[in-house]
């Protein structure tokens, strides 16, 4: 495509359409100029290509491989896993005709209660950056683009649509922006997705300092900046700030505002042209017809299991593991048969197949017995979707109470207890001293059961290391008192996030960052350095093949790492040369947004706030009926994985609607809830009935989309 030639021929109406998405997951085509439509789909740990009505469930999604989530893959400390996984996901994208995958998510794990932590890599910016870059490289090596997200400081869920992340520039640059910077400079992602929240009072979608001054001018990013779905507040200020593409689009108010601003001169056309140019270049580079060659489902399923096994963290072991196969085993815990293998929310995958621990045990002829007869009790525990999901933050860091009671009772039997743990983020583990072994699988993907079997029985040797600190108790977390409580999320701890905080203040933790056991033993020499190059020799001193991670810390911060795989008696010398970093110190003042009044409601109020008045409660009930309908549909399905996933989708929809704002809902729902509806709902809730009715009847007039113009001419 000759981008400049196409751009020169485009009308203002076509340009306004091009910078807006359509049909929820597509860019607008310009048929007159042979500009095709790009397809996007949710990631980041697999492909969610929706086939029917968008419901954030998976019952109408194409079958795809559910790989381990970022919380798991980061614990592998092996970028090659992410490259392999990225390539496999991209192959599935090509088969289904998807041109850009929405991921990876690289936001820092500031607090363990963040409901979306399972999608993020680490509390450490270097580890998050290296793992994220590897995934970007893997996906884009197959000709599929990525959307690096969520830029930036999107570290909580409760107020993500309207919240304000109040943080100083030094804190942002040293911690929260660093993984994005690393990936932009090393892996060159096709697109970057801006977050919903504000930073120091300014919405990310309108933040020129973030989207232009830092991302483009300092880091050299030359791709497309798109919004998260519904993250745009005012379209013209967003364009001026550097936001190219508004998603999901089909919002008449945004196109109307662009065209009016071009007409009256408040939006220079060269700014609109710049956004169009970025989008046209993206389309030109990544548009390809679907590859009709089916992807190898069995090979991808196998790869998912291999990655899960390589990333699992053995957190405690007194020699009980690995199992010899001669033990009498008793199984406890619902997650044995109903393994939690992925998180809940927009990243849910419709798996091509599922292998649970129960499936793997039965396949391999493992015989189990009632508890009194056993030598070892295997307990399969962890967080369920009721406790951890996109769209809300957890209330506490505890496991479900029924699981804690069960483990407590089993510990009283005097039998050896092995806990296999599932979940996307740390939990308090008060029983640690009373059990014999603890194997943490995180969320291991659709073939996690195979990985569990292989690790428990020593077919594979665990080698994962924690990519985040597991605190002793939630009260020990630096942001514990304020996290997720109000619209203002104040980053008062500065750069003291995760292990930086616990180490500096000498606070005991349950399991430290970078920790993980093995079935073999390793000997490490002290780090030596010549100039800026550091070396360490690692020797496998045990009797099993295994993997170890060399971790280089300078002044208490991770500066480099390398995973090595060694046979018994084998040695290797690791060489690490840390990248030169910006040593400047920046101002660390932050801006707190004034708390809005709960009443009267505004377009930025949480949707649940509408329930303060009778008209608001009626509106709330009608809108929430969508989620209730999906929940009813789920209950009609026969028992199985589809029913479970449909339930997850309905629950996610309920929670995301409750925490949404009227403004974000209209920006996300497009034709189903135009902007004048949001204005009407606000006025009706506030008791302004005449204004509310006027808005409801006031349709926003815009030209037909270019794709619709073509259909009209055919008729």
Angle, alpha carbons 216-217-219 (nearest 5°): 65
Residue 348 has pLDDT above 80, yes or no: yes
Instruction: Give the number of other Cβ atoms within 10 Å of residue 406's Cβ.
Output: 17
CA distance 299 to 297: 5
Hey, what domains does the chain have and what are their CATH numbers? 36-247 (3.20.20.300), 303-512 (3.40.50.1700), 607-714 (no CATH)
What is the DSSP track for 90-151? HHHHHHHT--EEE--B-----STT-TTGGGS--SSHHHHHHHHHHHHHHHHTTT-EEEEEEE
CA distance 342 to 345: 10
**CA 268 → CA 9, 167, 211, 414, distances in Å?**
17, 32, 18, 76
**Do 446 and 351 contact (CB within 8 A), yes or no?**
yes
The pLDDT tens digits for 417-434 are 999 999 999 999 999 999
CA distance 42 to 420: 29
CA distance 679 to 542: 68
Instruction: Give the number of other Cβ atoms within 10 Å of residue 532's Cβ.
Output: 11
**Which of 225, 229, 271 lies closest to 249 in space, CA to CA?**
229
Question: Coil, strand or helix: which one is 332?
Answer: strand
What is the DSSP track for 174-201? IIISHHHHHHHHHH--SEEEEPSSEETT
Phi then psi for 8, rounded to 5 degrees? -65, -25
For tokens 């400079």, the residue is 185
- Average pLDDT rounded to a whole number, residues 653-676: 92
State the pLDDT at residue 52. 66
The pLDDT tens digits for 167-198 are 999 999 999 999 999 999 999 999 999 999 99
The pLDDT tens digits for 503-559 are 999 999 999 999 999 999 999 999 999 999 999 999 999 999 999 999 999 999 999
**Do 425 and 398 contact (CB within 8 A), yes or no?**
no
The pLDDT tens digits for 221-259 are 999 999 999 999 999 999 999 999 999 999 999 999 999
**Which of 442, 482, 280, 449 lies closest to 364 in space, CA to CA?**
449
Contacts of 597 (CB under 8 A, 6+ apart): none
**Which of 208, 195, 120 lies closest to 162 in space, CA to CA?**
195
- Token digits of residue 332: 């406890």
The pLDDT tens digits for 557-612 are 999 999 999 999 999 999 999 999 888 899 999 999 988 889 999 999 999 999 99
Q: Return the CA Rg of the chain.
A: 26
State the pLDDT at residue 715. 46
**What is the 3-class SS of 69-99, one letter each residue?**
CHHHHHHHCCHHHHHHHHHHHHHHHHHHCCC
End-to-end CA distance of the chain: 29
CA distance 319 to 299: 33
CA distance 555 to 500: 10
**Which of 28, 38, 147 lies closest to 98 in space, CA to CA?**
38
Q: DSSP 3-state helix, strand, coil percentages of the chain (rounded to 5)?
A: 40, 20, 45
**Do 192 and 228 contact (CB within 8 A), yes or no?**
no
Question: Coil, strand or helix: which one is 439?
Answer: strand
Alpha helix (H) residue ranges in 489-567:
499-504
Phi then psi for 651, rounded to 5 degrees? -65, -40
Sign for the CA dihedral angle at 359, 71, 647, 348 comes to negative
Residue 129 has pLDDT above 70, yes or no: yes
Q: Name the pTM for this structure.
A: 0.97
Residue 627 has pLDDT above 60, yes or no: yes
The pLDDT tens digits for 301-341 are 999 999 999 999 999 999 999 999 999 999 999 999 999 99
Let me know if 526 is a catalytic residue: no
Task: Write down the mean pLDDT value for the chain.
Answer: 95
Q: Which of 42, 55, 124, 228 is the catalytic position?
A: 228
Phi then psi for 628, rounded to 5 degrees? -65, -40
The pLDDT tens digits for 430-448 are 999 999 999 999 999 999 9
């Amino acid at each position: 495509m000759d981008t400049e030639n196409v751009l020169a021929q485009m009308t203002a109406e076509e340009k306004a359409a091009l910078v807006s998405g359509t049909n929820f997951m597509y860019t607008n085509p310009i048929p007159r100029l042979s500009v095709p439509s790009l397809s996007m789909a949710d990631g980041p740990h697999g492909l969610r290509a929706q086939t029917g009505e968008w419901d954030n469930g998976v019952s109408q999604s194409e079958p795809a491989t559910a790989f381990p989530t970022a919380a798991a893959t980061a614990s592998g400390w092996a970028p090659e896993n992410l490259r392999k996984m990225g390539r496999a996901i991209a192959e599935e994208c090509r088969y289904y005709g998807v041109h850009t995958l929405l991921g990876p998510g690289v936001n820092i794990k500031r607090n363990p209660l963040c409901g979306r932590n399972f999608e993020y890599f680490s509390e450490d910016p270097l580890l998050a950056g290296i793992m994220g870059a590897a995934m970007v490289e893997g996906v884009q090596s197959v000709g599929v683009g990525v959307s690096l997200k969520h830029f930036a400081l999107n570290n909580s869920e409760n107020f993500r649509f309207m919240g304000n992340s109040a943080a100083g520039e030094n804190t942002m640059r040293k911690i929260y922006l660093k993984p994005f910077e690393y990936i932009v400079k090393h892996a060159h992602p096709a697109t970057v997705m801006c977050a919903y929240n504000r930073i120091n009072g300014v919405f990310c979608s309108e933040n020129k300092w973030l989207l232009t001054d830092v991302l483009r001018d300092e880091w050299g990013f030359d791709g497309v900046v798109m919004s998260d779905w519904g993250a745009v507040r005012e379209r013209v200020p967003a364009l001026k700030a550097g936001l190219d593409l508004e998603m999901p689009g089909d919002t008449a108010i945004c196109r109307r505002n662009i065209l009016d601003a071009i007409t009256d001169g408040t939006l220079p056309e060269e700014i609109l042209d710049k956004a169009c140019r970025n989008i046209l270049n993206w389309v030109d580079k990544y548009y390809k017809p679907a590859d009709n060659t089916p992807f190898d489902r069995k090979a991808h399923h196998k790869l998912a299991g291999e990655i899960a096994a390589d990333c699992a963290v053995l957190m405690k072991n007194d020699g009980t593991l690995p199992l010899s196969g001669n033990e009498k085993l008793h199984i406890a815990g619902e997650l044995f048969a109903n393994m939690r293998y992925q998180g809940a929310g927009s990243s849910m995958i419709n798996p091509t197949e599922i292998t649970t621990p129960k499936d793997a045990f039965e396949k391999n002829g493992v015989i189990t017995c009632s508890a009194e007869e056993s030598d070892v009790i295997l307990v399969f525990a962890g967080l369920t979707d009721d406790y951890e999901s996109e769209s809300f933050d957890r209330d506490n860091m505890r496991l479900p109470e029924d699981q804690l009671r069960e483990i407590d009772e089993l510990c009283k039997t005097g039998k050896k207890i092995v806990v296999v743990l599932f979940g996307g983020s740390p939990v308090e583990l008060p029983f640690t001293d009373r059990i014999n072994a603890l194997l943490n699988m995180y969320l291991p993907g659709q073939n996690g059961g195979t990985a569990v079997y292989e690790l428990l029985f020593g077919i594979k040797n665990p080698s994962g290391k924690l990519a985040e600190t597991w605190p002793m108790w939630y009260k020990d977390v630096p942001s514990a008192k304020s996290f997720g409580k109000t619209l203002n999320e104040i980053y008062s701890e500065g750069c003291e996030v995760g292990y930086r905080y616990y180490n500096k203040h000498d606070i005991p933790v349950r399991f430290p960052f970078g920790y993980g056991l093995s079935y073999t033993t390793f000997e490490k020499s002290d780090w030596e350095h010549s100039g800026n190059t550091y070396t360490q020799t690692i020797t496998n001193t045990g009797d099993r093949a295994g993997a170890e991670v060399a971790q280089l810390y300078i002044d208490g911060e991770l500066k480099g790492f390398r995973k090595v795989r060694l046979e018994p008696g084998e040695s290797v010398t690791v060489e690490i040369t840390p990248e030169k970093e910006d040593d400047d110190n920046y101002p660390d003042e932050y801006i707190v947004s004034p708390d809005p009044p709960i009443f009267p409601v505004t377009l930025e109020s949480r949707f649940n706030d509408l329930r303060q008045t009778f008209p608001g409660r009626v509106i709330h009930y009608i809108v929430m009926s969508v989620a209730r309908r999906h929940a009813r549909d789920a209950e009609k399905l026969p028992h199985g994985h589809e029913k479970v996933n449909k339930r997850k989708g309905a629950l996610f929809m309920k929670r995301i609607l409750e925490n949404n704002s009227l403004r974000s809902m209209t920006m996300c729902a497009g034709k189903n809830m135009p902007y004048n509806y949001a204005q009407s709902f606000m006025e009706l809730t506030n008791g302004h009935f005449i204004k509310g009715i006027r808005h409801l009847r006031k349709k926003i007039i815009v030209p037909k989309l270019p794709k619709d113009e073509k259909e009209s001419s055919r008729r």
